[in-house]
Amino acid sequence: MPQVLEFKLPDLGEGLTEAEIVRWLVSVGDVVAIDQPVVEVETAKAMVEVPCPYGGVVTARFGEEGTELPVGAPLLTVAVGALEPAAVGEAGHAPDSSNESSGNVLVGYGTGAPAARRRRIRPSSPATTPARTTAPATVPAAALAPAPAAVQAPAPVPVGRSAPGVTAEDVTQGPVPVISPLVRKLAREHGLDLRQLNGSGPDGLILRADVEHAVRAAEIPAATPKPGVAVTAAAAAGAHGERIPLRGVRGAVADKLSRSRREIPDATCWVDADATELMAARASMNAAGGPKISLLALLARICTAALARHPELNSTVDMDAREIVRLPEVHLGFAAQTERGLVVPVVRDAHSRSAESLTAEFARLTEVAREGRLTPADLTGGTFTLNNYGVFGVDGSTPIINHPEAAMLGVGRIVPKPWVHQGELAVRQVVQLSLTFDHRVCDGGTAGGFLRYVADCVEHPAVLLRSL
């Protein structure tokens, strides 16, 4: 009974997420060999021939030439074990393609043989006898379907996991989640059994780092596992250290920061500013009576004024739609350190609040954060973050953007320093300001303009008054 397997557009590397079908190399009804190129696609990087990891008869194609498909979309289906007698050679088996395919194929990048050497064989009658395929030493697991009855072919595994490079031994003991032939080669060179490793990649995918960690662990006698005990990269790295679970707030922060680093191409610019006049203005405001105004509130007012001039930085990026979404309201997040970890409460509609209102809301959210009573609504929906790391006694930082926002303003400590003021050397209250921004939403000119305006308002608060 033939088994119909679906072959999906594989991950072509380089961070590419889609490809355009340029030319089909096979038709419905054609017999394809393992690793035979079946379609030519064009990506943003290059033209690529995509090999099929299954051997059998093509039963369906998905997408016409000129169609753009996302990675993971079905390309074609292959009936494995349904080869025609016409496809069987004189010796009683299918043509041997082992000389044209190494089997260790990087998904989406073809094999070593040119397409011209491959031929298509169209069946002329219903399948009666499955062809026996001479498989290379290392072939995709699903490609072993037309094997002797003693070895049953596994169910198809999603592309990106199935693998070029899965051996016949893997079929009998379960597929190994490895995509890269380089990972397999590294494991073989060091005598590692990949079945004994738990991958740290998505869905347990074994990465090169996992193999390297296991190799280092094997070189340390105390870290050598007993036979039959699975090795993990984490175990290799922390065999002798204290283990702290990434749960709760810390786990959520770890996930969010990791996503930010993966997805956002950030850049940072910074400038020193003379904050003497800003500090004097705050002292005068608080000396007049009434509620006290915090320095954070004044910096927040400066931020919202700067965002009004540079709305690119109050935005988010929708990569699915390939659009930059500029947001009309400023919901200002601010970093707050608590006993449970770093949190970023959000002040709603910060652009419409006075310095007094901002001071009150910062104080309320800070207190709620320290008591551990922040709700999900308090921690989501931010469009820009203000990070006052000067409270930790440091001057500068290159913070990680709070995903999915596009920028973060960092403020260092304000300390007396030598400064040239009105042409003379004087001791002034100096602060370092830094802006980390998503380079997809703007270039350095916009980021520099934003930061320069902030610095001008810090040095001359009257600049802010003129903009109100």
Say if CB 38 and CB 52 are below 8 A apart: yes
Q: For 172-197, give one letter per residue: b (16+ CB within 10 A) or e.
A: eeebbbbbbbebbebbeeeebebeeb
> How far, CA to CA in Å, does 369 sit from each of 213, 293, 326, 343, 379?
38, 20, 29, 8, 10
Say if CB 101 and CB 35 are below 8 A apart: yes
- Tell me the backbone φ, ψ of residue 405, rounded to 5 degrees: -70, 175
Single out the residue of 306, 222, 269, 223 nearest to residue 434, CA to CA.
269
What sign results for the dihedral spanned by CA atoms 143, 111, 11, 169? positive
Catalytic residue among 213, 351, 421, 439: 439
Token pair 């050497």 is found at 117
* 3-state secondary structure (DSSP) of residue 284: helix
β-partners of residue 32 are: 56
Q: For 378-395, give one letter per residue: b (16+ CB within 10 A) or e.
A: bbeebbbbbbbbbeeeeb
Say if CB 378 and CB 365 are below 8 A apart: yes
**How far does Cα 295 stand from its chain's mean position?**
36
Single out the residue of 155, 172, 433 nearest to residue 306, CA to CA.
433
Directed axis angle between helix 355-370 and helix 295-309, to 10°? 120
Angstrom distance (rounded) from CA 169 to CA 324? 49
Q: For 77-88, give one letter per residue: b (16+ CB within 10 A) or e.
A: bbbbbbbbeebb
Question: Is 213 noted as a catalytic residue in this protein?
Answer: no
Q: Give every CB contact of residue 217 below 8 A, 6+ residues apart in sequence.
A: 223, 224, 225, 231, 235, 236, 239
Angstrom distance (rounded) from CA 127 to CA 235? 51
> What DSSP assignment string belongs to 307-367?
HHH-GGGSEEEETTTTEEEE-SS--EEE-EEETTEEE--EETTGGG--HHHHHHHHHHHHH
Instruction: Provide the residue type at 179 as one letter.
Output: I
Query: Which residues are catalytically annotated?
Result: 439
